[in-house]
Amino acid sequence: MSQGFQIKPADANKNSHAQTLKKDVPEMRDIQRSLLKHFGELKDHRIERTKKHQLTDILVIAILAIIAGAQGWEDIENYGVSKQTWLEEFLELPNGIPSADTFRRVFQFIAPEALHQCFFGWVETLVNSMGGEVIPIDGKTIRGSYDRKRGQSALHVVSAWASEQRLVLAQMKVEDKSNEITAIPALLELLDITGSIITIDAMGTQTEIAQKIIEKKADYVLALKANHPTLYSQVTKWFEESAIQDFKSVDISYDKKINSAHHRIEERQVWAVPIAAIGELYQPRIWAGLKSVVMVVRVRHLWNKTTSEVLFYLTSLEHDAELLGQAIRTHWSIENQAHWTLDCTFGEDACRIRSGHSPRNIALIRRIALNALSREQTCQRSLRQKMKRAAMNNDYMFLVLSSCFADHMLGSSEPLCQA
């Protein structure tokens, strides 16, 4: 596979993109080495005599195109055709740019598990220590991936998100006729989460999942809802009765935050108590490491109405309301910074790629693109603007690649984008 990715001597009359960067910026050779290291062993299932394009060429063009905003096979081909002169500097391209049908066929047959293993190995080189970091885990349905004619339902994947480093760490497909309860333990098994705080919504509030997190030497904050009716009812009743008495003689931690943004004011009150304060809690021993129970009251003042909701959580952390309130709020970063971005910036839900393994493989390529754009920090613009700049400016695309596909990261290079 590595045969398709070779550095060619640049034309002396051309202004190579590398000449515009400082000496401390990685060269394309560094990026080549990193790409081959992480994706070079991916097995090519095509018949040898029918190969007109190298698998590495196809994969690299797809990654670059999706970083640049491509949303389908024709978009990927169009990016390759538009950038062919630049791509020929570092790709083999023995028969030019692959067609849209070639991209479709290749991604249809790439083994998703093998591609994910390559992705996971690459992410491990980017991630710093996650001790103390909040890692939200949540599921997402890729709505456009259904195929009614084949009776194929939309792809549903569960992802882990490093909230501070803003990276998708891994993803796991939820199998047909199953749910996130089976996918989350498999996802946790992949990750080194030592010292981190795992947050999961009510679907993942399961004793087996809590046990797995504790075994991995991490802590959890799990949403408690009516899918555990006895425990939920008991906790709800205790907080209601204790609130009437203003939590007198209760070892309780309290925190209040008020935030204002997007024409709304949100008030968040957090109460956290050790499980011993509740008394005869329903089967507390089945929850590994359980130490505290949390109540959050959110009141949102919009321009035309006021809404409120009460939420409850189980956690293996001590009853520190400020810390727990921050962790609970951080859980939404996977929705706001990952899932929302994938839908609204990358057009994931609208994408109708649906044959074979293509939905899973392209979903993973999108997450590579999301990580790469998030990693590049010299351009202080929105992700959408960074995407457009990468599409228009080869130097900036090179900078995006350098931020995550080189043996050494960027130092104090001159930014190619002025805020």
Local confidence pLDDT in tens for the 419 residues of the chain: 555 555 555 454 444 444 444 445 567 778 888 888 888 889 998 888 889 999 999 999 999 999 999 999 999 999 999 999 999 988 999 999 999 999 999 999 999 999 999 999 999 999 988 888 999 999 999 999 999 988 899 999 999 999 999 999 999 999 877 789 999 999 999 999 999 999 999 999 999 999 999 999 999 999 999 999 999 999 999 999 999 999 998 999 999 999 988 788 999 999 999 999 998 888 889 999 999 999 999 999 998 999 999 999 999 999 999 999 999 999 999 999 999 999 999 999 999 999 999 999 999 999 999 999 999 999 999 999 999 999 999 999 999 999 998 754 443 344 444 44
- Which residue, 303, 325, 347, sits at the end of a domain? 325
**What pLDDT is stored for residue 14 in this prediction?**
45
Closest by alpha carbon to 291, among 274, 306, 277, 308? 274
Q: Please check whether residue 332 lies inside any domain of the structure.
A: no
Residue 151 Ramachandran class (φ > 0 left, ψ -120 to 50 alpha, else beta): left
**What pLDDT is stored for residue 20 in this prediction?**
42
Which domain does 68 fall in, by range?
2-117+357-402
**What pLDDT is stored for residue 31 in this prediction?**
83
Q: Does one domain contain both 367 and 319?
A: no
Q: Does one domain contain both 40 and 87?
A: yes
Q: Does one domain contain both 313 and 374?
A: no
**What pLDDT is stored for residue 355 in this prediction?**
92
- SS3 per-residue string spanning the chain: CHHHCCCCCCCCCCCCHHHHCCCCCCCHHHHHHHHHHHHCCCCCCCCHHHCCCCHHHHHHHHHHHHHCCCCCHHHHHHHHHHCHHHHCCCCCCECECCCHHHHHHHHHHCCHHHHHHHHHHHHHHHCCCCCCCEEEEEEEEEHHHCECCCCECCEEEEEEEECCCCEEEEEEECCCCCCHHHHHHHHHHHCCCCCCEEEECHHHCCHHHHHHHHHCCCEEEEEECCCCHHHHHHHHHHHHHHHHCCCCCCCCEEEEEEEEECCEEEEEEEEEEEHHHHCCCCCHHHCCCCCEEEEEEEEEECCCCEEEEEEEEEECCCCCHHHHHHHHHHCCHHHHHHHHHHHHCCCCCCCCCCCCCHHHHHHHHHHHHHHHHHHCCCCCCCHHHHHHHHHHCHHHHHHHHHCCCCCCCCCCCCCCCCC
Q: Please check whether residue 337 lies inside any domain of the structure.
A: no
Q: Are 277 and 252 in contact (CB under 8 A)?
A: yes
**What pLDDT is stored for residue 413 in this prediction?**
41
Q: Does one domain contain both 367 and 321?
A: no
Residues contacting 193, CB < 8 A, separation 6+? 130, 135, 213, 216, 217, 218
Q: Does one domain contain both 311 and 373?
A: no
What pTM did the predictor assign? Answer: 0.89
Q: Please check whether residue 262 lies inside any domain of the structure.
A: yes
End-to-end Cα separation, the chain, in angstroms: 40
Q: Does one domain contain both 234 and 299?
A: yes
**What pLDDT is stored for residue 416 in this prediction?**
42
Q: Please check whether residue 316 lies inside any domain of the structure.
A: yes
| Domain tally, the chain | 2
Q: Please check whether residue 181 lies inside any domain of the structure.
A: no
Q: Please check whether residue 57 lies inside any domain of the structure.
A: yes
**What pLDDT is stored for residue 6 in this prediction?**
59
3 state SS of 378 = coil
Q: Quick count: other Cβ atoms within 10 Å of Cβ 125? A: 12
Closest by alpha carbon to 267, among 307, 313, 323, 222? 307
Q: Which residues of 176-186 are buried (b: 16+ CB within 10 A; e: fewer)?
A: eeeebeebbbe
**Residue for token pair 């996802």:** 187
Q: Does one domain contain both 288 and 392?
A: no
Q: Are 123 and 168 in contact (CB under 8 A)?
A: yes
Q: Does one domain contain both 252 and 305?
A: yes
**What pLDDT is stored for residue 408 in this prediction?**
43
Q: Please check whether residue 229 lies inside any domain of the structure.
A: yes
Q: Does one domain contain both 321 and 364?
A: no
Q: Please check whether residue 208 lies inside any domain of the structure.
A: no
Separation of alpha carbons 231 and 205, rounded Å: 12
Query: What type of residue is 252?
Result: I
Q: Which residues of 146-174 are buried (b: 16+ CB within 10 A; e: fewer)?
A: beeeeeeeebbbbbbbbbebbbbbbbbbb
The H or E element that residue 192 is part of is none
Q: Does one domain contain both 282 and 382?
A: no
Q: Does one domain contain both 300 and 375?
A: no
**What pLDDT is stored for residue 3 in this prediction?**
55
Length of the chain in terms of residues written: 419
Q: Does one domain contain both 319 and 374?
A: no
Separation of alpha carbons 338 and 156, rounded Å: 15
